[in-house]
Every structure is written in C-alpha cells, then in structure tokens.
Amino acid sequence: MAPSISMTPSNPLDILDFVVNKGHGVKGLADLGLKTLPHQYIQPPQERFDHTSNEELNEDSIPVIDLSNSDDPKVAKAVCDAAQKWGFFQIINHGIPIHVLGNVKDATHKFFELPAEEKKKYSKEQSGTNNVRFGTSFTPEAEKALEWKDYLSLFFVSDDEAASLWPAICRNEALEYIRSSETVVKRLLKILMNGLNVKDIDSTKESILMGSKRINLNYYPKCPNPELTVGVGRHSDVSTLTILLQDDIGGLYVRNTKTMEWVHVPPVNGSLVINVGDALQIMSNGKYKSVEHRVTANGNDSRISVPIFVNPRPSDIIGPLVEMVESGEKPIYKHVLYSDYVKHFFRKAHDGKATIDFAKV
C-alpha cells in the first residue's frame, strides 16, 4: 500500500527523514512513483555505471562450476583457480534444494511488502538488538550519496534467538537456507584449505573459518534514474566466504583485477554465486582474492538478493594461517580482532578495497 499524503516527504530535504528515520526505506520512496531521482542518491560520476560501454563485447566471465561430481580433482582445481583469479565463481548442482532457494526468495519479497511501521520494528532504533537490523543504503550517516537499496540483516546466534527476534514472515525460510548451505560451505572450505596445503580442519580452524553467519535480505526497487545512482557501491565483503542467491534480474558486477573492467555476473537458474571475503584473503596471506563488486540500480524491475556471509566469530583473532608463513613466506597482514575489522567496515561508506588496509602490515 502506498503511504498516505501526510506520510510522504513534502520537500526534498525531508527525503532522508522519510527514508531513514521514518523507516519507509527506498522502497517507500519508489512506491510514491517518483519521476526523478532525489539528489541525495546522485553518485559522483566516477561511481556511476557506464551504460554506454558495450558489455556484449566483454568476453570475460566468472566460472560456473558443476559440483555434482564430488571427488573429481578437476572440480577442486576449478574452485581454487577461481578463488585466486576472480575471487568469484558460480556453483550449480550444489545440493541445496531448489525449493529452499525459491522459498527464501518469496519470503524476501513478503518481508519488503510489509507496511513501513511493521518493518521499522526491526530497525536499529526499535529492534532492541544488534543482531537484527532493517535498514537502507549502507551507512547513511557516513555516506555522501545514498545507495538505492533496503536490507534486513540477521546475525545468526541460535534457532531459539531467531525464533524470538527474527521476523516471522521470513524466519523459517532464512534458517532453512542457512542450514541447507552448511554442507556445501564445508566442502568448499575443505577444497580451498587443501589448495593452501592446510590438510586438517580441526575445530579451532573450523570456528575461525565459519564460526558465525549473517544473512542479508536485499531489496533494490525499480529506480527512476538508474544511470545516476548505484544499488550497492564498490566494496569487498568482510566474510570468509559469501554464498549469494540472486533472482533473475541481474545487475551484480565484479572487478576483473587484471583489466580493471567490470564483469557482469549473469543469473544462472538454480546457481549460487560464491565469493571470497576479506577474512579469507587475510588468512590465505593474499593467495585467495576478496574482489571488489557492486550492483546497478534498475529502471525496469525491482531486484532481490540473499547473501549468507560465512565469517569468523567476532571474538576471533584473524591473520595469515601458520601454514602460510611457516615456510618463510612474509606475512602481508597482521593479526586483528575480527569484530574490530567488521566495525571498521560498517562505520564508513563503501570504499572499494580500502577496508583491508586496516589489516595490512
């Protein structure tokens, strides 16, 4: 339902109040049927997408890896090669049932269709916990220009906590997606650790690699001037690995670190996009790359995506794994408390690959 007249921003200066403070999000703004983009969303030219470049000519693409043949050494090689070259790949035949993915996509739409006052119960101000957060853009307080995105971010602590704190409309679907991804996450991490000559993932290592999880439900409404703004600005994830479910709209772009060109990640039916995050780049002493990516705004359709961020625990100290440096290789990262690293990321606007400087020697 569109907000009533009294709830709509009466002048452009009220936009921030309407979207951020009143909790309508950018979806509330889009639902008003705006014909032009409010100036608060206009990105500097260097951050906008170049819609004149001919993507079809760009033959680069991130690999799509079929995981059905579990013991094939070629699969392991493809995963490790992709993590080094691209930091990104897609997986098919990953073992997560298609209905689980369909259900979490449906639940995401249902959550964002809720009235603003319902969604606002999960905002930073009202949720009463840092583990549940409905928000818009990334860090509106620190950003020069806002991003065209709303999100619900859920930090997983336990099924019991989720039962009492997560929104009922998407709770079970989100939990089921997290649970069903466990096997493939372990399999990918085993392959990636093997590629670093780390043969044994004991419980301490497992905890550092995948001891905490956060799921985000992202909503990108249809945008009046997509060429002037972004859905998500350039950033790398701070996770170990990210497992991203996208719908069939498209709009995620990944940096090719050799050519510096932006490469589209096309939606592939039933696939999941996997990317290396900063924590794994640090632990692998730079061997696996956490690569910059960003998302366009779209003038024709709304879009959703659902990343699961697989992380160390907030209390873990992360740094290059001993196996990486025991043979004399120089550590390029120092040891940092993971929650300090994440707070550093969250307190500033998206700024490409700059976050990892926090951990550089």
Ligand X SMILES: CC(C)(COP(=O)(O)OP(=O)(O)OC[C@H]1O[C@@H](n2cnc3c(N)ncnc32)[C@H](O)[C@@H]1OP(=O)(O)O)[C@@H](O)C(=O)NCCC(=O)NCCSC(=O)/C=C/c1ccc(O)c(O)c1
Ligand Y SMILES: O=C(O)CCC(=O)C(=O)O
Dihedral sign from CA coordinates of 109, 114, 115, 120: negative
> Among residue numbers 218 through 247, which ones bind ligand X (CB under 6 A)?
232, 235, 237-239
Q: Is 309 in the site for ligand X (CB under 6 A)?
A: yes
Reading the block at residue 147, the tokens are 């991003």
Please say whether the beta carbons of 146 and 228 come within 8 A. no
How many residues at the interface with Fe ion, by CB under 5 A?
A: 1
Q: Is 355 in the site for ligand X (CB under 6 A)?
A: no
Provide the Cα torsion 265, 267, 269, 273; round to 10°. Answer: 40
* Residue among 229, 305, 311, 355 that touches ligand Y (CB under 6 A): 305
Measured from the CB of residue 130, what is the shortest distance to ligand X in angstroms? 3
* Residue among 159, 183, 317, 346 that touches ligand X (CB under 6 A): 346
Of 51-59, 185-193, 221-229, 307-315: span binding ligand X (CB under 6 A): 307-315
Please say whether the beta carbons of 105 and 247 come within 8 A. yes
φ, ψ dihedrals at 76, nearest 5°: -60, -40
Give the start-end residues of each E strand in the chain.
Answer: 64-66, 88-92, 132-136, 150-156, 212-220, 232-235, 241-246, 252-255, 262-264, 272-276, 293-295, 303-311, 317-318, 336-337
Q: Is 105 in the site for ligand Y (CB under 6 A)?
A: no
Please say whether the beta carbons of 315 and 339 come within 8 A. yes
Nearer to ligand X, 246 or 311 (CB): 311
Nearer to ligand Y, 24 or 293 (CB): 293
Amino acid at 212: S
> Residue 295 binds which one of Fe ion, ligand Y, ligand X, none, with CB within 5 to 8 A depending on kind?
ligand Y
Greatest extent of the chain over all pairs of C-alpha atoms, in Å? 67
The 205-244 site mask, x for binding Fe ion (CB under 5 A), equals --------------------------------x-------
Measured from the CB of residue 149, what is the shortest distance to ligand X in angstroms? 7
Q: Which residues does 12 contact at the CB level (< 8 Å), separation at least 6?
A: 38, 39, 40
Nearer to ligand X, 99 or 124 (CB): 124
Strands 293-295 and 336-337, bridge-based pairing: unpaired
> Residue 239 binds which one of ligand X, ligand Y, Fe ion, none, with CB within 5 to 8 A depending on kind?
ligand X
The 248-277 site mask, x for binding ligand X (CB under 6 A), equals -----------------------------x
Please say whether the beta carbons of 240 and 327 come within 8 A. no
Nearer to ligand X, 76 or 120 (CB): 120
Q: Is 295 in the site for ligand Y (CB under 6 A)?
A: yes
> Cα separation of 354 and 357, whole Å?
6
Q: Is 339 in the site for ligand X (CB under 6 A)?
A: yes
Measured from the CB of residue 175, what is the shortest distance to ligand X in angstroms? 17
Q: Is 307 in the site for ligand Y (CB under 6 A)?
A: yes
Q: Which helix (H) or strand (E) holds 84?
A: helix 73-85
Nearer to ligand Y, 18 or 219 (CB): 219
What strands, in cross-sheet order, belong to the sheet with 293-295?
A: 232-235, 293-295, 252-255, 262-264
Nearer to ligand Y, 94 or 293 (CB): 293
Strands 303-311 and 241-246, bridge-based pairing: antiparallel
Residues making contact with ligand Y (CB under 6 A):
216, 218, 232, 237, 244, 246, 252, 293, 295, 305, 307
Residues making contact with ligand X (CB under 6 A):
130, 133, 138, 151, 153, 155, 212, 214, 216, 232, 235, 237-239, 277, 309, 311, 314, 338-339, 342-343, 346-347
